Each structure stands twice: as C-alpha cells, then as structure tokens.
Homo-oligomer: A and B are copies of this chain.
Amino acid sequence: MLLNRRSILAAAPAAAAATVFGAPAFAQGTPAAAPPASGPQQAPGFYRYKIDDIEATAINDGVWLRPLADGFVKNAALDEVKKAQEQAFLPTDVTPIPFTTTVLKTGGKIVLIDTGNGNTGAPTSGTWMANFKAAGFDPAQVDTIIISHFHGDHINGLRLKDGSAVFPKAEVMVSAPEWGYWMDDGKMAAAPEGLKGNFSNVRRVFGPIAKDVKQYEAGKEIAPGVTAVAAPGHTPGHTAYVVSSGNGKLILMSDTTNHPALFVRHPEWQAVFDMDGDQAVDTRRKLLDMAAAERARVAFYHAPFPATGFVAKSGSGYEFVPVQWMPTI
C-alpha cells in the first residue's frame, strides 16, 4: 500500500504537466497564474467566511481521483467501501479526494494552514496558486505558514519541483513531534521502503530552511487565535487546530479524517495513510465527538470543497453536514 502511494508520488510530476483541466503550469522558479481559459472554466475554488474577527478563506487545490481497488481502507472490504461511496452518490471506481487548505487573516497577519500539492501532485490537483490569487492573495505577503503534518499534499506547496521557495517572507511553523520523527536519520534508515520517499521529500522541502523553521507544541496558541491540538495517528506529530475569536470557533481537523463519506461515516476505518491506524481511530473519535457535542464549525482538509461545515452523530458513526454556501462573508 505505502509503496503504491510512493510510486504515485514519484510519478506525479510528469503527470502534472498534462494540466488536465487547466491547472496552472508552474514556470521556472515562479508560480504562474492559470493559463488563459480555452473554454468554459469552473468558478475559482475559494470560499470566505468569518470566525468573528478572523477571516477564513478555504482554498481548493483540486482533487485526486484515487482508484478504489488500490486498498484505500486498510480494515474494510472493498465492497463495503464501494457501498459507502455509493450511499454518498460518489463514483465507485475512484475515491475523489479533494484538497482544501485554510487561509486566516488574524491579528493583522496572513496565516496559511498547510500549502497544498504545489506542482508535484496528482494531475487534477495543483490549482491552489490560481485559486489563492483569485481570492486576492499574494504569496509574497504571507506572514506565517503552519504545517499540520509532513505528507506531500500538505507541504509541497512550500517549494516547487525546481527547488524554489514559494513564500519568500513567511515564517514556517511545524509540529515538534512531526519534525522530530521525519528529520531523524535513524528513523529514516529503519523505515520500511514505502516510507523512505516521504522522508526524502521532507528533507527536500525543509532542508534549505531547516535552521529557520519554528517548532510548535500542542496546547499552545501558535498564531493569534490559533491553538494547536495534538492529533496523532495519521502521522506521529499530526496536528489539528482550534481557531477562536470572540464567540466564534472553528475546529480545523487537518487529516483527522480523509474523505468524510468514508471516515466520518465510519470513524473505525483506517486509511492506508494512517501510520498508526489504531491511534488514528482514537484521535478521530475524540475530535469528532468533541465537534458533535459542541456543534462546532469544522473544516476538513479532504472534505468536498468548501470543506467546512458541522459534525452530527449518526448511528455508530457521524455525518458531515456541509455549511450552506453564503454570498455574504
């Protein structure tokens, strides 16, 4: 399974050049805007909302159409997974896994939570920069980047394939246990083959800025109104966040679940990317329980865009209820 993911990650750059749906082609060094429309385009993938004084913007980075037969769920039969997708009116040959990061304007700063796939993701991803710019943002103005964990779809937006940095002035903040795990050469040497590609990619992305990266601890307010919440299991230092302002609150779930139609509905299911599956399930149940009990606004990195809504208890699992799209902010 992990080897599978690794080979997909390795193959992705070539595939990305195909720009299947007008994804931005990144030119030498500088992220380019999307090419001129050659036909009808989808609306830009951003969505703005407020958490009291904090302005949040969901920025979509496209989707990965992951073949279902590749064993996405470690502890459920393929037929059960297909059934769950069918019940959610999703295709049953692929899982359409969307990517949506969150930008916060808080305390006068522009703060990103994760960065998307950059130019090294699936061919139907890589639209982040075009959507970020369509929302009126400029990568040169980003003050702070908070990284939830070190999988490629969260960190590759920091540094393009050619090695260039995308956010020139941003301070980069990472989870201390995540950094401790992936930057440990002993752990890299002892890792199964399938994980080594990710260890290498972490070094590619963070190596040139290693001395400037700021490590944060869970339980602390790490940016104005943003508190880190330990959410281990998916990766050793995987982190969720509580964003608070006045009476407003948002729980940013990161990869506490992958696609809600599978892992919110069936929190006991373990995704192939959950490094410690049992711990991931414990964390998932704890955070989904909290969100449901509080009726808190949530955001999931892999929920359908705009990837924000609520969690309700439903049978032995939960249900993700997307927010009603509003024309106002």
Interface positions of A (Cβ within 8 A of B): 20-21, 37, 40-48, 55, 57, 60, 62-63, 87-90, 96, 98, 105, 124, 127, 134-136, 295, 304-306, 309-310, 312, 321-329
* A304/B324 in contact, CB under 8 A: yes
Quick check: A327 and B62 within 8 Å, CB to CB?
yes
CB nearest to A125 among chain B residues: B327
Chain B residues whose C-beta falls within 8 Å of the C-beta of A41 in the assembled complex: 48, 136, 329
Contact in complex: B310, A325 (CB < 8 Å): no
On chain B, the residues within 8 Å of A134 by CB distance are 43
Interface of A is mostly: loop
| Given A89-B295, A310-B89, A321-B89, also A135-B328 (CB < 8 A) | no
Which of A42, A62, A321 has its CB near the most chain B CB atoms (within 10 A)?
A: A42
Our pick among B90, B305, B329 for the contact of A40 (Cβ within 8 Å) is B329
* CA distance in complex: A60, B135 (Å): 18
Q: Which residues of B contact A328 (CB under 8 A)?
A: 20-21, 42, 63, 124
Contact A63 B327 (CB under 8 A): yes
Q: Which 4 A-B pairs rank lowest in CB-CB distance, beginning with the nearest?
A: A304-B324, A305-B325, A21-B328, A89-B310
Could you tell me the distance between the alpha carbons of A60 and B43 in the complex, rounded to whole angstroms?
12
Contacts A42-B48, A48-B43: A127 and B305 contacting too (C-beta < 8 A)? no
What's the Cα separation between A325 and B90 when bound, in Å?
A: 11
Chain B residues lying within 8 Å of A327, measured Cβ to Cβ, are: 21, 42, 45, 60, 62-63, 124, 127, 305
User: Could you tell me if A48 and B55 are in contact, using CB atoms closer than 8 angstroms?
Assistant: no
Which B residues are CB-close (under 8 A) to A305? 325, 327
Complex A-B: 6 CB contacts under 8 Å: A37-B136, A42-B326, A43-B47, A43-B48, A89-B295, A305-B325
Please tell me if the beta carbons of A96 and B324 are within 8 angstroms of each other in the complex. yes
**Chain B residues within an 8 Å CB radius of A55:** 40
Closest to A137 in B: B40
Instruction: Kindly report which residue of chain B lies nearest to residue A259, judged by CB atoms.
Output: B324
By a CB distance below 8 angstroms, the chain B residues around A46 are: 43
Chain B residue numbers with a CB within 8 Å of A20 are: 328
Say whether, besides A321-B88, A327-B124, A43 and B43 are in contact (CB < 8 Å).
Answer: yes
